[in-house]
Amino acid sequence: MRHRSLLILTTGVTVGALTLSACGSRDEGDKSGGDETTTVTIGLDAPLTGDLSALGLGIKNSADLAVKTANKNKEVKGVKFELTSLDDVAQASQGQTNATKLVGNKEVMGVVGPLNSDVGQSMQKVFADANLVQVSPANTNPALTQGEKWQDDQKARPFKTYFRTSTTDAIQGPYAAHYMFKEKKLKKVFVIDDKKTYGAGLAGTFAEEFKKLGGKVVGTEHINPEDKDFSAVATKVKAANADFVYAGMEYPAGAPLAAQIKKAGAKIPTVGGDALFSPEYVKLAKANAAGDIASSVGAPLETLDTAKKFMSGYKAEGYKEGYDAYGGYAYDSTWAIIQAVKAVVEKNDGKLPEGDDARKQITEAMQDIKFSGVTGEVGFDEFGDTTNKQLSLYEVKKKDGKLQHVPVKSGEFEGGQ
């Protein structure tokens, strides 16, 4: 009888305590269950296969990390983000097809990408017509944001839907020109480009500034980016007696070109832009990459505290491919879209507006987005260009027992007052 009474009392108290506990879980469960969760899809376009896939996959993985972080942190209340990735194989026509496909998916509220400037150009109007915001982590051709007449002091923004987190070639090419002329004291250059929007544009800004400084362009050549045999060009470079080569192209052509120039007997450095700044460049050119120089957008990641968090997060996710040259910028591009969605949701009493209005409002919100990102303070100027205009030069040197790009100089565009 005594034991029975004890059992009754204990059971009563236990049930009471568990009920209180259960109330807590059920409340939260009810809350989340009661709230509607909207799925917002962020589109991504980059070369995920082919020669430039090392850069493209670094962009994709980094965007994926941003989406996972936003969902984990419940960055936007009531919104779950998803990423849908399309492969443009570094071709403008495929990029345009992908843009149309992304516009057709009504859940897509912003697009990250692409890598190549010519692909970016082919997508801009498609997105503009649909009011769908696009943030490129890697396009560097100035015309994309400032119009074709940007060099004639007639800057005009072509599309309000286009933004980028990377610095433009308007700074990258001239900065390398000053470095080679002033610090390396090399006065004669052979300029080679691949005739593409990015390569020809970058080579143009470099050569123009180099000549203004008093340097001499002793030869120019154009190559086909799909070629791998550049022996004829290498022979011309050797005969021209140049001090160095400026290569306006991407690493799949740039690395074998640099190696073949050295093999032809011209032991001179090859200098190029951010599309040569990849571990793949060193893998392809091997020992012949030593001494070559690449400029790239942004400050070296090891000098950015926020980048360290990104790098450890990337490692923890176990992505097979490295984040490469544009990973940090892809993360920031994705995060900018997430923040624009957040601004619109908060403005509309916790809900995303219906239909096309959501895309329109997100594009408008992007203009005022500001946050501390992986690559520094992220924001956009009146052209849609990043306000974070840092860039760095890297030389291929032996470090930690292997050849790799080592930072040699950094700069920051401070603008006027």
Please report which helix (H) or strand (E) contains residue 192, including its range: strand 188-193
Q: Give the residue ranges of DSSP H helices in 158-240.
A: 169-178, 197-212, 231-240
Q: In what order do the strands lie in the sheet with 108-112?
A: 79-87, 38-46, 108-112, 134-136, 162-164
Measured from the CB atom, the residue of 2 and 402 that comes closer to another protein is: 2
- Tell me if 409 contacts another protein by CB under 8 A: yes
CB 412: neighbour CB atoms within 10 A? 14
Stretch that binds another protein, among 137-145, 195-203, 207-215, 256-264 (CB under 8 A): 207-215
Relative to beta strand 376-378, strand 371-373 is antiparallel
- Tell me if 387 contacts another protein by CB under 8 A: no
Smallest CA-to-CA distance from 83 within 96, 66, 98 is with: 66
- Please give the size of the binding site for another protein, defined by CB under 8 A: 57
Rounded CA-CA distance 81/108 in Å is 10
User: Shortest Cβ distance from residue 209 to another protein (Å)?
Assistant: 6
Measured from the CB atom, the residue of 18 and 232 that comes closer to another protein is: 18
Binding marks (x or -) toward another protein, 5..24, rule CB under 8 A? Answer: xx-xxx--xx-xxxxxx-xx
Of residues 27-66, which lie at the interface with another protein (CB under 8 A)?
27-28
Of residues 244-263, which lie at the interface with another protein (CB under 8 A)?
none
- Core vs surface per residue 206-222: b (16+ CB within 10 A) or e: bbebbeeeebebbbebb
Measured from the CB atom, the residue of 34 and 417 that comes closer to another protein is: 417
User: Which of 182, 228, 286, 398 contacts another protein by CB under 8 A?
Assistant: 182
- Tell me if 400 contacts another protein by CB under 8 A: no
User: Shortest Cβ distance from residue 47 to another protein (Å)?
Assistant: 28
Rounded CA-CA distance 237/286 in Å is 20
Relative to beta strand 38-46, strand 79-87 is parallel
Sites of contact with another protein (CB under 8 A) = 1-2, 5-6, 8-10, 13-14, 16-21, 23-25, 27-28, 69, 72-75, 171, 174-175, 177-178, 182-183, 208-209, 212-214, 299, 303-306, 308-309, 372, 376, 389-390, 409-417
